[in-house]
Structure formats: structure tokens, C-alpha cells
Chains A and B, each alone.
Chain A
Amino acid sequence: MTRRRAAALAALLTVAALLGLAAAAGAATAPVTAQSALGVTGNDACFHCHGQQDMQNRTIDVGGEQQDIFVDRALYDASRHGGLACTSCHIGFKPGLHGADETQAWLITAKLTACDNCHADVFAMYRGSFHGNLVFGESSGKAPVCADCHVAHNITPPGSAAFRASIDSLCARCHPDQLKTYLDSYHGKAFFLGDAKTAVCTDCHGGHKILPPSNPESMVSKHNLVATCAQCHPGANENFAGFMVHVDPQSPRSSFAVWTFYALYIMLIAVVFTFGFVHTALYIYRGIKDGLYRRNRHG
């Protein structure tokens, strides 16, 4: 009896506190953006469930993938979208247990097009890119969508070191060969060992308008490559841009010239090291056998 009453009281107090907080938050962040017109206050209702770290059934099955429905409020509020209502992306969601219409619609289209409402320019670029075509075009396949690169509830400024550091592992999921060759070139080595200024995938390929090198609009097409390198290497010319980022020295098919030098050096190293090892070992053997180590001690 008393337990139930206590629980009710606690719930009441919680609601009161939430309302108070919401009012304060609403007052403080009211003029952040036009989009916040939807009202930050609405988010409290969503966080009432989605902000609970210890809620039951925290993971749901989304197209075979397990996803966590917990949303970290501290991260969300501190992110670039901190002033946005949940419902500006999750259009039509109402607090409370959601109906199938809400969730199904979100999963199929809204997840891809929600961003379009406010970032139409970026979306248009993405839509025309190779990846965008894979997602929306007829030749459907698995390609990264907005929320694969930008963490949906923790949008960080794309220039930040943390965001840049995450890009390579993201592309690597689907382009492991290019990651390997990139990591073997100077940019990749420096990136791997913690250099934040060096080029990552999207510095050369762009974030949204990723196109194959054969497409003249691509940042890595013959047409644009010099300008792409010149972002960080002012004064770059055609020759400079001819440096091959994705070359595998160990494969003759990648670049025969580079492979030739690689193979020659590997042979040279093998010969010199083998000879050195044999010579050294025999010398020591003879020295021990003849007791030279003891006899020739000098100071």
C-alpha cells in the first residue's frame, strides 16, 4: 500500500520537476534557431522514456540490426542540434508508446529524408553522389546515409578533430582496400599515428559529393584533382597531383614501376641480411671454437 503511494508521489514530483525544468529550459534556449519553434519543451516528454539509462528493452531490432533507443541527453544538448526538437526529425512521433504507422514511416523514408528539410543544399549534393544513387536510385546497394557519418544525436562540427578522426574507419567498412593503400602512404601513416592536419578520405573525395574518378565532377577526377590537393598544398601542379594515393607497392598490377623498386629492394635486403647473418655466425663460431674471446681480451 504505502509503496504504491510513494511511487505515485514520486511520479508526481518527477512530473512537476520536469515541467519546471522544461519551463526554465524553454525560456533559456528559446531564440536559438528558427527550428526550435517546435519547442524544446517537447523533448522532455521524449526523454522521459528515452533518457532513462536503466529502462527495460533498451534495444530494438531495426532491419536486423540491434539499436539502442537510449538517447544521452547531455550529449544531445551539447551537440550542434542541441536546440532542435526531437520531432523535427522524428516527424509525427508522439510521446507515449508509438504506433506501427509512426515507426514504419520513420524507418523507411524519414530516416533518409529528414535532414533534407533543413539541409537541402547538402542533401541535393548527396542525392547526386555515387552513394546517394545507390541509396535512392534503382541500383540499390548498401551505402552510407547522413546518419552513418554524422552521429544522429551527437552532431559535432564536421571540422572537429574527433569527427575527422572517425571518418576513415567509417569508409573502411565498405572500402577496405583503399583504406589499406591510404594507410601505407604518407597521409595515412601520419593520420594513423595521430596527425590531425593530414588528409583524410573526405578531404580528397568530399563528404557529400563522392563520385568515381572517371566522373568529371568528382573531386578526384583529372579535372579537379590539382585543386583538391592545392587546398593543403598551395602551388600543386599536374605532376604533383599525379602522386598515387591508392598504390599498393606489393602488387605489380597496382603500379608496375613502384612494384619493381619494391621487389628489387626486398631482394637486396634478403641477400645482404642473409650474407651478414652467415658471416657473423661463422665468425663467432670460429672465435668460440678457438678460444679467441678469452685470449684477445684487451683494454
Chain B
Amino acid sequence: MASTGETVTAESAPQTVRTRIEYRRFNVFHRWMHFLVFVSFTVLVFTGMPLKYKDTEWARWFMDLFGGVTAAGVYHRIAALVTVFYWTLEFTFMVVMVLRSRGKLLRSPGSLMPGKKDLEDMIGMFAWFFGKGPKPQFDRYTYWEKFDYMSLMAGTVIIGMTGFMMWFPLWFTKVLPGIFLNIALVIHSNEALLAMGVIFIFVHFFSAHARPESFPLDKVIFTGSVPVDHYKAERPLEFARRVREGTLDEVLVEKRLTWRIYAADVLWWTITAFAGFCAILMTAFIIWSVFD
């Protein structure tokens, strides 16, 4: 069973519902954001890539599946609007948070800002890979998570701007020369491949599923919290910091282990299986077209 005996603490609860103390890593806002990114990004990749690799057989399958190039273009644009929406929301949220903390948030060890420690961690990790040192200890975010986040936020600006140039070429050429449209296509097309590689293959998918610590599935972005022990082992610095600052209680939640939790697990597994399938499929397709 999924429950770990030693963390079940409230055996005395009246209706004998088992509960478990968990560490809340992501709040509802984070989780909804991730959901929007997940859905829109998948749609964008699957409606965009067939255009990039138009010569391949699978490009035709997908265009047929979507009901033609024009229809795929419409889905691409709807997903693009979702992208603009979540990006704006996330950006505003970040700016407000940073302003409210008077910039302290940026300097906190738990922030997403890359810093000196990230470089040291990376060197440390390579040392560990070769058995030349202990595994570095991480705070709230590892360097690859920061890279993932930052590249998505920055990449979305680039891909969004070039995308809008292609969407409204007449409007943009009121001021810009026509060659910008040619450049926009080159950037959009290759940035898309880059983003797909980062998200679908190396950084994101790997860190959520294939890393030893998270294998076979890290559900935390869906459930929001993980058993305390586990979190303590994975992000010891953040845990220690919270203990030191006395803010641990803010993030501890008592999770009731009802059938709903297990039902939800099935859902997370299904979603992940679907996402994994999409990622493997698209990766295979692109490798196929490279060697075609």
C-alpha cells in the first residue's frame, strides 16, 4: 500500500480515518498553473510540429487527425491564448510577491533566482556522478528546476512574440520590414524544438520521472504535498531552514487517507501516462524525421 506506517499519526481520530502529515510544496495556484502549461504546451507542440516536419508521414496523420491544417492552426492559436493568459498571470503574481517582500524574495535561498550556489551544485553533481564526492544538498529548487522555469518563462516571450508576428503579419509590417517575418518563422520553429526538447525530454520529464529520487512518478505537482520524511530527504536545506526559522508549521498539512486519495492517484497516473506517451511519441517522431 502507498501509506507508510511510521508517518500515520492520527490513529486516534474518531472515525478511524487514517491521516498522514505531509509537506505542502505547491499550493492550488501552482497546481492550476502547471495544469494550464501542461495542456496548452501539448496542444501547441502537436499542432505546430507537423508543420515543421511537413515532409514526414506522421505530419499528415496528425493534420488529418486534427481535421486539416486550417483547423490545427485554430487549435494552435487557442492554445497560444491560454499560454499568454498563464504567462501574464504567473508574471504578475511573481512581481506582486517580489514587491510585497520588498525584493527579499529574490535573495531568499528558496527563490527561483539562479545564484552562485547553483553553479556549485552543478559542479558537485558532476563530481557525484563520477563518484568523486557526496550528492549536493538542495534548497527548495535545484538548478535544473530553475533552468526549466526560467527557460520556459523566457522562451514563451520569444516564441509568443514571433508567433504573434506570424499570426498578424499585416499589423507587424506596418512598421517592421518584411524580412522580420522570415526571421520570426526561423526563430519560432527552432525555439519550439528547443522548448520541446527541454520540456519533453531532458530537464522536465527526466526530473519528474526518471531521476532515482522521483522514479517512477513524482506526483507532487498534482497532489501538492508529499510525506514529510521524503521531502526532508530530498530538499534538506529548505527543511532545515524552515525548522530554524520556525515556519515549518505553515507548510505541514494533515492529509486524510480516504479512498479519494487513491482514486486521485489513478487519475494522476493516467494523466502522466498520457503525457509520457505524448512525449515519447513526439520525440520518436522527431528522431525519425532527422534520420529519414
Contact = CB atoms under 8 A, between A and B. Distances in A.
5 contacts: A193-B54, A193-B60, A237-B173, A273-B197, A276-B198
B206 A296 contact: no
A249 B179 CA distance: 12
Contacts of A249: 182, 186
Most chain B Cβ neighbours within 10 Å, of A257, A297, A298: A298
A197 B1 CA distance: 58
Interface string B75-86: 000000000000
B197 A258 contact: no
Interface in A241-283: 241-244, 247, 249, 255, 257-258, 261-262, 265-266, 268-269, 272-273, 276-277, 279-280, 282-283
A183 B51 CA distance: 10
Interface stretch (B28-36, B100-108, B111-119, B187-195): B187-195
**Which 7 A-B pairs rank lowest in CB-CB distance, beginning with the nearest?**
A242-B178, A276-B202, A287-B212, A299-B2, A292-B212, A265-B190, A243-B178
A269 B170 contact: no
B191 A265 contact: yes
Contacts of B185: 185-186
Interface of A: 183, 185-186, 189-190, 192-195, 197, 233, 235-237, 239-244, 247, 249, 255, 257-258, 261-262, 265-266, 268-269, 272-273, 276-277, 279-280, 282-287, 289-290, 292-293, 296-299
B10 interface: no
A192 B215 CA distance: 42
A276 B198 CA distance: 8
Given A239-B176, A265-B191, A276-B202, 7 more contacts: A193-B63, A236-B170, A240-B169, A268-B190, A280-B202, A284-B212, A292-B212
Most chain B Cβ neighbours within 10 Å, of A235, A237, A239: A239
B227 A298 contact: yes
B183 interface: yes
Contacts of A240: 169-170, 173, 178, 181
A258 B186 contact: yes
Q: Is the interface of A mostly helix, strand, loop or mixed?
A: helix
B169 A243 contact: yes
B274 interface: no
Contact of A257 (B70, B179, B198): B179
A254 to B, nearest CB: 10
Interface residues of B, number: 56
A262 B186 contact: yes
A292 B3 CA distance: 20
Contacts of A197: 70
Contact of A193 (B50, B125, B178, B198): B50
Contact of B201 (A235, A255, A258, A276): A276
Contact of A268 (B179, B194, B202): B194
Contact of B179 (A255, A276, A290): A255
Interface in B50-95: 50-51, 54-55, 59-60, 63, 68-70
Nearest to A230: B170
A266 B186 CA distance: 10
A255 B181 CA distance: 13
A285 B210 CA distance: 11
B288 interface: no
Contacts of A257: 179, 183
A190 B76 CA distance: 14
Given A233-B170, A244-B178, A273 B202 contact: yes
